[in-house]
Structure 1
Amino acid sequence: MTWLKLPTIKGHEFSWITEESSLTERLKKEFNDVKVDVIYEGLASEKETEYIREVIIKSCDKPMIFAQTRVKMIDLDSAWSCLK
């Protein structure tokens, strides 16, 4: 197996992959008319110990990003309670 060299990421692109706050809020700063469409929200079918939220983030009604959040159910009452 041959490993590829790690690409150098600088400037504006680096700030995107190291963003610590909400991706949606960051997109709203960069683009007009950002909207989040929830595709699915609830228990994972294969493991009922996980909660899943799937969204498509759009700008000007064009899909930009598909995002999936998976959280253990026991964590929903603490750090991830905002997802409920």
Structure 2
Amino acid sequence: MYIVFLGTGGSGAPPGRAENCILVDNSEVRILLDAGPGCGQKLQEAGYSVCEIGYIYITHLHIDHWSGLLDIAVYAAAE
């Protein structure tokens, strides 16, 4: 099992540091914990496709935990 910290910054993270986004990969299923802005790009940079994500779990409704859902939809449509 791999846990990949794609973004650990809070709201308004400095350049180069993405907001909340963690990938859990156990080879059978990939789970995204939170989807902060830019998470689609960070997934791609880490070598993952958004189409490989089986589940998305949003821990709570602060904007820096869910506003990357649109990124994920755009990346999935592009693939």
> Normalised by the size of structure 2, how large is the TM-score?
0.30
Higher helix share: 2
Compare CA radii of gyration and give the structure with the larger one. 1
With CA pairs under 8 Å and 6+ residues apart, which has the higher RCO, 1 or 2? 2
Higher strand share: 1
> Normalised by the size of structure 1, how large is the TM-score?
0.29
